[in-house]
């Protein structure tokens, strides 16, 4: 398979030539599972591992390869193994706050053109979660598409009501309605899957992501669980992986993510809540909290029922969460730098 078919355009090729040189070859990371990698180059897909130097120089886990990354590799052992030496600069990315107490980025995937944010019309429909996904996607420079699945489980009026609720929170991304049972909407999904482009599926477990991929692949390449009594599937994807579809597009499947903490997502929040930002610019006071201040354009829009209170609450929640984690990360870096200076001075005194 040619590298161009994996998404290596002229700009990336120039970067690869400069970083890989003549001793290394460019390849794309197609799967990551507990620190183990699969990379795909012109000669096929092989397992890969990081070099000791790479691990030593990496300052955080966010600098390690993730699915979709372009890397420079050295193929060895007769073409059956590879060593990863460098990661090319990422054009776009999906990232979140690392799970737990660590205030660091966790890279999810990179170099994605379109992100399908998948929600079921049945039990999974959740506007605050949709907004959180939109913030993550837009923060990484990725174009979002909202994908409503299991449309066969609701009536046409109910489906129209869900679409209106999405538009009601200011979402201007395309909305695709899909039924994996009837096949309705599959062709519209294919319309967004251009050859050489990379897309991903984001959503909770059991909303039909794996079933959709199997439809696009034209078979049952990926295992799916039985459908529960609620109509929701039992998700079986256990690792992030990049799949090349028959017509040339690439699709990244990934497990449902329970934690979607935001860190450094100010730009994504601004883009996702553009309606609130536009209204806030019309408030009488530049530091308006949109509470009880006179001349608040946001409160006026809520009173006119042009903006929902829940939409504003979720905006405030996500903004405060991102700002809190940003400050926590800055404090941690200050402490790390101070500790580094202490060790440096201590060693100088001993010498």
197 and 246 within one domain: yes
Tell me, yes or no, whether 232 lies in a domain: yes
Which CATH number covers residue 120? 3.40.50.300
Domain boundary (87, 108, 129) is at 87
Tell me, yes or no, whether 111 lies in a domain: yes
Predicted pLDDT at 230: 40
Query: Counting beta carbons within 10 angstroms of the beta carbon of residue 102, is it exposed (0 to 12), middle (13 to 18) or buried (19 or more)?
Result: middle
Tell me, yes or no, whether 130 lies in a domain: yes
Tell me, yes or no, whether 332 lies in a domain: yes
Tell me, yes or no, whether 157 lies in a domain: yes
The DSSP result for 4-38, as a single string, is: GGGT--HHHHHHHHHHHTTT-EEEEEEEEETTEEE
208 and 327 within one domain: no
Mean pLDDT of residues grouped by 10 in the chain (351 residues)?
90 94 94 90 92 90 92 91 95 79 78 94 86 90 94 93 92 92 90 92 83 81 45 53 91 71 69 88 90 90 89 86 69 55 57 58
247 and 313 within one domain: no
238 and 282 within one domain: no
Which CATH number covers residue 25? 2.40.50.140
**Are 87 and 60 spatial neighbours (Cβ–Cβ below 8 Å)?**
no
Q: What are residue 260's phi and psi, to 5 degrees?
A: -130, 50
Orientation of helix 156-168 relative to helix 127-139, angle to 10°:
50
172 and 287 within one domain: no
100 and 67 within one domain: no
Q: How far apart are CA 110 and CA 29, in angstroms?
A: 10
Q: Which two tokens stand for residue 204?
A: 């909770």
74 and 101 within one domain: no
Q: How far apart are CA 26 and CA 18, in angstroms?
A: 11
226 and 195 within one domain: yes
133 and 75 within one domain: no
Give pTM, 2 decimals. Answer: 0.79
Domain boundary (229, 253, 277) is at 253
123 and 235 within one domain: yes
Predicted pLDDT at 192: 92
Largest CA distance in the chain: 78
247 and 102 within one domain: yes
Predicted pLDDT at 336: 54
**Number of domains composing the chain:** 3
Domain that holds residue 36: 3-87
Which CATH number covers residue 307? 1.10.40.50
Tell me, yes or no, whether 349 lies in a domain: no
Tell me, yes or no, whether 260 lies in a domain: no
Tell me, yes or no, whether 350 lies in a domain: no
- Residue 342 CB neighbours (<10 A): 10
Residue 184, CA distances (Å) to 27, 45, 164 in order: 36, 33, 20
Predicted pLDDT at 253: 84
100 and 60 within one domain: no
Residue 201, CA distances (Å) to 38, 50, 262, 316, 330 in order: 19, 27, 19, 27, 31
Domain boundary (219, 253, 287) is at 253
Q: How far apart are CA 281 and CA 288, in angstroms?
A: 10
């Amino acid at each position: 398979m040619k590298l161009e078919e994996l998404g290596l355009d002229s700009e990336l090729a120039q970067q690869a030539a400069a970083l890989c040189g003549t001793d290394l070859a460019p390849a794309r990371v197609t799967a990551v599972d507990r620190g183990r990698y699969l990379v795909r180059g012109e000669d096929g897909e092989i397992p890969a591992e990081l070099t000791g130097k790479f691990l030593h120089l990496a300052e955080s886990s966010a600098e390690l390869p993730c699915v979709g990354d372009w890397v420079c590799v050295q193929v060895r052992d007769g073409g059956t193994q590879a060593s990863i030496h460098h990661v090319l600069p990422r054009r776009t990315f999906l990232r979140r706050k690392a799970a737990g107490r660590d205030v660091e980025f966790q890279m999810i995937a990179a170099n994605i053109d379109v992100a399908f944010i998948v929600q079921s019309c049945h039990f999974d429909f959740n506007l605050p979660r949709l907004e959180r996904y939109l913030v993550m996607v837009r923060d990484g420079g990725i174009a979002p598409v909202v994908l409503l699945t299991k449309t066969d489980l609701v009536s046409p009026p109910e489906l129209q009501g869900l679409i209106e609720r999405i538009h009601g929170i200011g979402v201007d991304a395309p909305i695709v309605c899909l039924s994996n049972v009837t096949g309705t909407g599959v062709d519209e999904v294919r319309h967004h899957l251009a050859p050489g482009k990379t897309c991903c599926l984001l959503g909770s477990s059991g909303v039909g992501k794996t079933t959709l991929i199997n439809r696009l692949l034209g078979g049952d390449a990926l295992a799916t669980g039985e459908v529960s009594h609620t109509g929701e599937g039992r998700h079986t994807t256990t690792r992030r992986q990049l799949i090349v579809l028959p017509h040339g597009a690439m699709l990244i499947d990934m497990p449902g993510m329970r934690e979607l903490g935001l860190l450094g997502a100010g730009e994504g929040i601004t883009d996702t809540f553009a309606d609130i930002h536009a209204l806030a610019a019309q408030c009488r006071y530049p530091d308006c909290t949109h509470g009880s201040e006179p001349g608040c354009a946001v409160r006026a829009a809520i009173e006119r029922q042009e903006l929902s209170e829940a939409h504003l609450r979720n905006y405030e929640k996500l903004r405060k969460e991102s700002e809190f984690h940003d400050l926590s990360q800055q404090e941690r870096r200050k402490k790390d730098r101070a500790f580094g200076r202490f060790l440096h001075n201590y060693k100088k005194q001993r010498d």
